[in-house]
A and B are shown apart, each in its own frame.
Chain A
Amino acid sequence: MPRRSDLKRVLLIGAGPIVIGQACEFDYSGTQACKALREEGIDVVLVNSNPATIMTDPEFAQRTYIEPVDADTVERILERERPDALLPTLGGQTALNVALDLHERGALERLGVELIGADVAAIRMAEDRRQFRRAMTEIGLGVPGSFYVTDPEQSDAALAEVGLPAIIRPSFTLGGSGGAIAHTLEEFASQLEWGLHLSPRGEVLVEQSVLGWKEFELEVMRDRVDNVVIVCSIENFDPMGVHTGDSITVAPAQTLTDKEYQRMRDAALAIIRKIGVETGGSNIQFAVQPQTGDLVVIEMNPRVSRSSALASKATGFPIAKIAAKLAVGYTLDEIPNDITRETPASFEPTIDYVVTKIPRFTFEKFPEADTRLGVQMKSVGEAMSIGRTFRESLQKGIRSLEIGRYGFDATGLSDAEIEAKLRVAGGDRLWALGEALRRGRSLDEIHEWTGIDPWFLHHVGEIVAHERTFLADGDLRRAKRNGFSDRRLAELLGVDEDEVRRRRWEQGVRAVFKRVDTCGAEFEAHTPYLYSTYEDECEAAPTLRPKIVILGGGPNRIGQGIEFDYCCVHGVMGLSKDGYETIMVNCNPETVSTDYDTSDRLYFEPLTLEDVLEIVERERPDGVIVQFGGQTPLRLAVPLERAGVRIIGTSPDAIDRAEDRERFAALLSKLDLRQPANGTARSLEEARREADQIGYPVMVRPSYVLGGRAMKIVHDADALDAYMREAVTVSPEHPVLIDRFLADAIEVDVDALCDGETAVIGGVMEHIEEAGIHSGDSACSLPPHSLQRDVLDEIRGATSALALELGVRGLMNVQYAVCDGLVYVIEVNPRASRTVPFVSKAIGVPLAQLAARVMAGKTLQEIGFTREIEPPHVSVKEAVFPFVKFPGVDTLLGPEMKSTGEVMGIDREFARAYAKAQSAAGNVLPVSGTVLVSLRDGDKDSALGLLEKLAGEGFRFLATEGTARFLDRHGLSVERVNKVPEGSPHTVDRILSGGVDLVVNTTQLGDAGAVQDSSTMRRTALERGVPYFTTLAGARAAAAAIAEIRAGAVEAVALQDLY
C-alpha cells in the first residue's frame, strides 16, 4: 500500500523550549519527521517556539512558525495554512496536549483537519489512568492499584486503596512534574496538594508503590495493517522509584530470560492494539517483581518519547522517521532499512553490543534543591555509550558524562555515608556503589539497600576488582577490554594519562571500531555509524576523501545545550557544501548531530582526549573543529594540538589570548578598548584591598570554574568577607577574580564572523535584563530596542577590531556592558556561542554553516557574506527555567546561569515580539487585573513610569509597605499588603487566593535578608502560574507588551515570509 494521496499538507507541532523532561530529543524526532514528509512531497507546516532547533531552520518545512506552542496560536495557524492533517506525536507531551485542546474546542473538526499518528480516543485511553487501568484489566494485564483525586478531601479514600508509601502523579504534567513518593501521612497531604495545583486538570493519581521492582521499557511500532515490531528493550539499572529519565538505563534488557521477555513483548503488542495507536511509535513501561516475576504495566506513551530517541540511537532504527512514514499511510514492510538497504523495516533490530545511558544532573546550580531522585525527573541531560560488554559500556558512559570522573574513582566517604547514599538514590549513587563494593560489601547487602539487580552489581564489583588485578598484572589490553579509561589507569598507576597512552600505543593496544547495523552483522551495513572497542577486527574503513572531524557538545547541561548541537549540525551542512567528508563525534543520544544520516560518518564516542585521538589516528582528517560544541571540545583544543592534531579555525593561542586575564587586558589596551576595573586576589586581605580600589559593588568569582559557577555580586566589605570565607577557597593556586560591577548597565551580546581578513557582524543583541543577570538567563532583542546609533557603532567597531586582532577564523561572541553611555568589553569568546541559532533565525543566515566553511579555508567574500544584515523585524529571545522541578528553590536570577532552554518571538516591533516570547515561555501576560508590586528602594523612582503605564492600562496595585507609600505619594491608588514576615494576610496569601495577576518584585541582590523575605512570594507566583518579573527592565518590556496585546491580537508570522 503506497502512501495516502489525500495528504498534501501536514502541520507538525514541535515541543517548544528545552525543559527538564523534554529536551533535544524532540528536535531530533521533529527533524526526522520533517525530512521524511518532505521526501514524500508533502508540504510541512511547522510550529515550534524554540529557535535553537534544527527543525525550525526554514529549509526543513514549507512554512515555519517560530511561535508559542499553544492551542490559540496553532488554531490561528491552522486557519491560515489549512493543512489536511495534524501530526502531534513527534513533539512530546506539549504537542499532544495542544492537539487534545484543539480537538476539544472543535477547531480540528471546524477546519477539517485530520489528526494522524494517534487519535483522540487512543491518547485519552493511554493518558487517563482510569481508562488505562480498565483497558489493561480487559486484556488481562496488571497495573498498580490507583485512585484519582481531584479534591484533598478524597485523600483518605485514596490512602485506603493504595496504602503507604504511595506515588503521587499529577495528570498531564511534563516529565512527571509534581510527582513524588509519600512515605508518611504528612508527606502525602502536602504532595497531594502540590500535585493538584500543578496538574492542568487539577487532578492527581495516587498510585500503589512498586518501589524496588525491576523496571523495563519497550519501544513499539505499529502500522495500519497491524504489523507490530519491538524496536528495543531497555532495562533500568535503578529499579522502580527513580524516574526513568533519571535512571541509568541499559539496552537491551539484561536479566530477562526469553520466556519472560516474550511475555513482556506479548503484553506490549496487546497494549498498543488495545489502546488503538494505529500508526507510529509508543513507549511502554513495565515493572517486574524480582522474586516472583510478576509483571505490571506502569504506563504507555502513545507518541515518540525520550526513550524512543535513545532506542533509535541504540539500534540504528530511526523511530521518528518511520513513525512519520507510517502516519502518512506506509506499512513497515514497504519502508526500507536505510542501514542494510536490502531489508525492510518490518523486523526487530538485534544488537551485538551493550548500550548504557547515564543521566547528568546539575544540582550544583540549585543548592537548595532536594537532590534525592524520585518519580519527578531532575536530570538535565544524558550521555549514551556503546561497548561490547556491559562493563565497557558502563565505563565509557561514565567518562562521557564529563563530570570529572573517568571510572569508579575512590570517594572519601565514610561507610555510613556510603550506606546512606545507597539507600536513597541521588545523582552520584553509582560511585558510592563502586566504593561499597571496593570495601567488600556483599552483593546481597547492596541489593537490599538499592534494589539494583545483582547482575549489575556483580559487574560493577568486577570492575573495581579489576583495578586491583590491573595493579598486579599491568595488562593494558585486558583493562581496556573492560572499558577502563587511560585516565583512570593513569590514576591507578600514579602516572599521567599521556604516559598510559604512550605505553598502550607502544604495545599496540589500540581501539578498533565496530558498526551499529540493526542486525548483529547478519547483513552488510552501509552507514558508517561506529563505536570503539578493544577487539580484533576494525570496520571503520576510512576513506581517502578530504575530511573534517567536528567534535560535539556531549551531554546537555545548563549552559551547554541544544544551541551547540545546532551549530555542530550546521557545521556539517556547511562543510558538505564544500565537498568535505564530515565526521561527527558525540555521545548525546538526544541530538540531531548523532543521527546517522546527519554527517557522512558518525562516531558515537565519549569526548575525551583518549577517545578523540583514537578516532583521529584512524581517520587522519584534514582538520578537527572544536569551536561548535561549547566548552567540551574547546577544552580538548590544546591537548589535541599538543598531540599533533590539526585544529582548524581560530588558533588555540587566540583562544588563550581571550581567556587568559592578563593577555586579555593587554589585548584590550592595545586596541584601546575599555573593560571594567578588575583585579586578582590570592588571599582575603588582597581581595579586600582590590575591592576597595575598584569600588563596590564588585563581581567576585573563582578563577578556576567556568559558566558563572559560584559567581556573586557583593555590595560591601562584609559581604565580600562572607563570600571569601564561605563560597570559595582562595589560595595562590586558586585566585579569586574581582571585577567592578556595572550596576544598571545594559548588556549587549554580539556574534560575528571573521575569516582573518574581514569581520562581519552577525547580530547585535540588547539584553532586556540589566547587567548582573547571566547572559544565558536574560531576554534579549535583535536589533537592540533602546541603544543609540553611536553606541552601536562603537560596539560594531570594537567587535571588528577584536576579531581581526585575534585572527578569528569562524565565529566570535563578544559581551559588552553599556553604562552611562560608555562601552565596556566584558568578555570575548572566539567560538560559537549560545546565541548563534537565535541570530541565524533572526537574520535568515545560517552563521554556523558559513563559519565552518571559513574554517576550512573559504573567505567571506567567496561565500557571499560581507555585510551585516539588519532585519526589518524584531526578534526577542527569552529564557526558560526549571524552577518548577525544584520545590523550595528561589526563582531569583543572578550571575549564575539557571535556564535550560529558550524561546523566540518575532514580530514587526519590539513589544509584540516580546509578548510572543513571554507567551512561548509560559508567562501568559494578563490584560487586566491586579499587580502585586514590591520594589527595592533603589528601583522605586525609576519604576514610576512603568507603574503609571500599568495604571493607565487599568491595572490595580497591591504593594508592600514602602512601595505602597511610594505609589501613594505619586497619586497612584494602591492597597497595602504585608510582607511575609509581617504576618497574614500577606503577599503569599493574596497570590494563593487568586487575587494577583502579575507580580513585579525587585530585591537587593546580595541582601540575604531581603532575598529570603521575598523568596516565598516569588515561589508562590511560579507555582500558581502567575507571571512575575524580578527586574524592572523585564517588567517594562512586559508593560509594553501588555499594551500591544490590549491593542489587538498578535498575529503569527512564518519565517518564509520574513527573509
Chain B
Amino acid sequence: MSRDAWLVLADGTAYRGEAFGAEAAGEGEVVFHTGMTGYQEILTDPSYAGQIVCMTYPEIGNTGTNPQDEESSGLHLRGFAVRSHNHFGSNWRSRESLNEYLQRHGIPGISGIDTRSLVRRIRTAGAVNGVLVHGEFDPGELRDRASRIPSMEGRNLVDEVTCPSAYDWTEAGDWDSRPVQHERRYRVVAFDFGIKRNILRELVGAGLDVRVVPARTSASEVLADDPDGIFLSNGPGDPAAVEYAISSVRELLGQRPMFGICLGHQILALALGGRTRKLRFGHHGANQPAFDAAQGRVAIASENHGFAIDPDSLARDPDIEITHTNLNDGTPEGIRHKRLPLFSVQYHPEASPGPHDAAGLFTRFRSMIESFRA
C-alpha cells in the first residue's frame, strides 16, 4: 500500500492523498496549471520556485520523463499535486518514470486528491500558501506551518534560480530538428532571472548568439560586452522585489534593442516607471487568449504568472503602448515603446509547454536588432 500524503492550506483546507515522488516536505504558494500536456516542462521551469503546482488535468505521468524536455537543470517547485499519478509512463522518448524523476530531484508529490475542488478553492479565495508532506501528520499543525509561509508579494526568488556565472548557449531546436541557418548572427546578452532553455533555443534559432548572465549583472558589465541586443528572461516571485535588475534595465533602456518575457516583461515595465500588482490567482496554462491589437488576432498563449503590470501606471507615458491584452480578464500582456527599441510580453512565445502561436516574436527581436545595427 502506498503511503499517505497531506496537502494543507493556510486557510485550513486539508487534502489527504497518496504519496509519490521524494519523501520531503514542500512549502509554498499553491497554484494550478491548466495545461493538459507538459508536466515535465512545468516541473523544470524555474518560474515555479517557491510554489506547489497542482495540475488540473487528472492523469499525470502518462509519458514518463526524458532528458530532452527539461527547461532547466533542476526542479524548482516545492511540491506537485495531481489527481492521478501514473507510475507507468508510455512514450518512445521516456527514460524514467515521473515518480523516479521526482525522487531523484527531491520533490514530494501527492496524488488521488480532489484537485478540482482545490482549484475552485484557489479560484474563489485567491492564491494561498500550503504545505505538502508525506506520512502521518496533524492537519492543524500543518495549517499553522502553512500560515507562517511568507507571502509571494515582496519576495525575490530570482536569487535562488539565477546562474552563478555567465555562460554561452549554442543549442537550437528540438532533439531531432536542425535549426535554420542564418547568414549573419548577432550577439545578445540574456539576463537569467530563471531562464527556460527553450527561450535560449529560440534565440539561437533566430540567429542570435546568446550569453547568459546572472541576474545581478550590472548595466555597465552588460554594455562592456557590446551585445547587439538584451534579453530579459522569465523568472519566479515578485518582480518589484528584484530591485537591482529594475535599475540595471533602467540604465540599459534605449542602449540596445531589448526583449522581455514574463518576469522580464514586468521588470521592463517597472524600469519604465510602471507598477505591478499581484493577481488573485494568476494565469498558469497553455490556452490563454492573448490579443494582438495591431494585427487584430489572437495568439493561444502559454502563460505562467502571478503578477501583472498595472496598465494605469503606464498610461501617463504616451510613448508606451499596450500591444497585447488577455481577453479573459483584460490584463495587459504586451508593451512596446514608440521611440525606444524595446518590447515585451507577459506570455511565453517559447511555449514549452504550450502552443507555438507567438514564436514569431523571436524573429521580431532579431529584426529590431537588425534595424538598430543598420
Contact = CB atoms under 8 A, between A and B. Distances in A.
Contacts of A539: 120
A944 to B, nearest CB: 70
Interface string B280-293: 00000111110100
Interface string A246-289: 00000011111111111001100000000000000000000000
A229 interface: yes
Given A259-B69, A520-B34, A292 B298 contact: no
Interface stretch (A342-350, A412-420, A590-598, A812-820): A342-350
A454 B86 CA distance: 12
B57 interface: yes
Nearest to A352: B56
B148 interface: no
Contacts of B309: none
A892 B2 CA distance: 60
A390 B59 contact: yes
Contacts of A1059: none
Interface in B63-96: 63, 66, 68-69, 83-84, 86, 88-93
Contacts of A254: 59, 62
A330 to B, nearest CB: 13
Nearest to A1: B296
Contacts of A389: 58-59, 83-84
Q: Indicate the member of A343, A351, A519, A521 with the most B CB atoms within 10 Å.
A: A521
Contact of A350 (B36, B41, B327, B355): B36
Contact of B34 (A226, A227, A331, A519): A519
A505 interface: no
A388 interface: yes
Given A257-B66, A258-B41, A458-B88, A537 B120 contact: yes
Contacts of B88: 454-455, 458
A290 interface: yes
Contact of A258 (B38, B288, B289, B328): B38
B92 A291 contact: yes
B116 A521 contact: yes
A788 B267 CA distance: 90
A354 B60 CA distance: 12
Nearest to B296: A225
A522 B123 contact: yes
A660 B92 CA distance: 59
A353 B88 CA distance: 19
A293 B296 contact: no
A481 B32 CA distance: 22
Interface in B254-308: 285-289, 291, 296-298, 300
B288 A347 contact: yes
Interface stretch (B20-28, B151-159, B160-168, B346-354): B346-354
A696 to B, nearest CB: 61
Contact of B92 (A292, A347, A388): A292
Contacts of B56: 350, 352, 520-522
A453 B62 CA distance: 11
Contacts of A455: 62, 86, 88-90
B226 interface: no
B277 to A, nearest CB: 19
A536 interface: yes
A261 B327 CA distance: 24
Given A262-B356, A347-B288, A293 B92 contact: yes
Contacts of B32: 520-522
A453 B63 CA distance: 11
A333 interface: yes
A853 interface: no
A521 B114 CA distance: 12
B298 A258 contact: no
Given A259-B68, A536-B117, A332 B298 contact: yes
A514 interface: yes
B62 to A, nearest CB: 5
A388 B351 CA distance: 27
B91 A255 contact: yes
Nearest to A481: B112
Interface in B162-211: 174
A535 B88 CA distance: 23
Given A255-B90, A262-B356, A350 B37 contact: no
A524 B91 CA distance: 35
A342 B92 contact: no
Contacts of B68: 259
B90 A262 contact: no
A523 B63 CA distance: 28
Given A344-B327, A389-B83, A257 B289 contact: no
B4 to A, nearest CB: 14
Contacts of B117: 535-537
Interface in B98-121: 112, 114-117, 119-120
Contacts of A257: 37-38, 40, 63, 66, 69, 91, 93
Contact of B83 (A388, A453, A454, A519): A388
Contact of B63 (A256, A342, A353, A388): A256
B57 A258 contact: no
A290 B92 contact: yes
B116 A352 contact: yes
Nearest to A390: B59
A351 B327 contact: no
Interface in A218-251: 225-227, 229-230, 233
Q: Indicate the member of B69, B83, B92, B117 with the most A CB atoms within 10 Å.
A: B92
A519 B93 CA distance: 29
A258 B352 contact: yes
Contacts of A332: 298
A256 B69 CA distance: 12
A258 B93 CA distance: 12
B35 interface: yes
Nearest to B90: A455
A256 B36 CA distance: 10
Contact of B297 (A225, A258, A453, A524): A225
B66 A354 contact: no
A265 B355 contact: yes
Contact of B58 (A253, A262, A352, A453): A352
Given A388-B58, A389-B59, A522-B34, A259 B328 contact: no
Contacts of A521: 32, 56, 116, 119-120, 123
Contacts of A229: 300
Contacts of B287: 347-350, 519
B107 to A, nearest CB: 19
Contacts of A253: 37
B363 to A, nearest CB: 16
B298 A262 contact: no
Given A227-B297, A352-B57, A514-B116, A256 B34 contact: no
A535 B63 CA distance: 25
B233 to A, nearest CB: 20
A351 B36 contact: yes
Nearest to B177: A263
Interface in B288-343: 288-289, 291, 296-298, 300, 327-328
Nearest to A333: B298
A233 B296 CA distance: 26
A255 to B, nearest CB: 5
Given A225-B296, A256-B91, 12 more contacts: A233-B36, A254-B62, A258-B38, A262-B353, A331-B296, A343-B327, A346-B327, A352-B119, A354-B58, A388-B116, A520-B34, A522-B32
15 contacts: A227-B297, A257-B37, A257-B38, A257-B63, A290-B92, A292-B92, A346-B289, A348-B287, A350-B36, A351-B36, A389-B84, A455-B90, A514-B116, A519-B287, A522-B285
> Which 6 A-B pairs rank lowest in CB-CB distance, beginning with the nearest?
A258-B38, A520-B56, A537-B117, A455-B90, A258-B353, A258-B37
Interface of A: 225-227, 229-230, 233, 252-262, 265-266, 290-293, 331-333, 342-344, 346-354, 388-390, 453-455, 458, 481, 514, 519-524, 535-537, 539
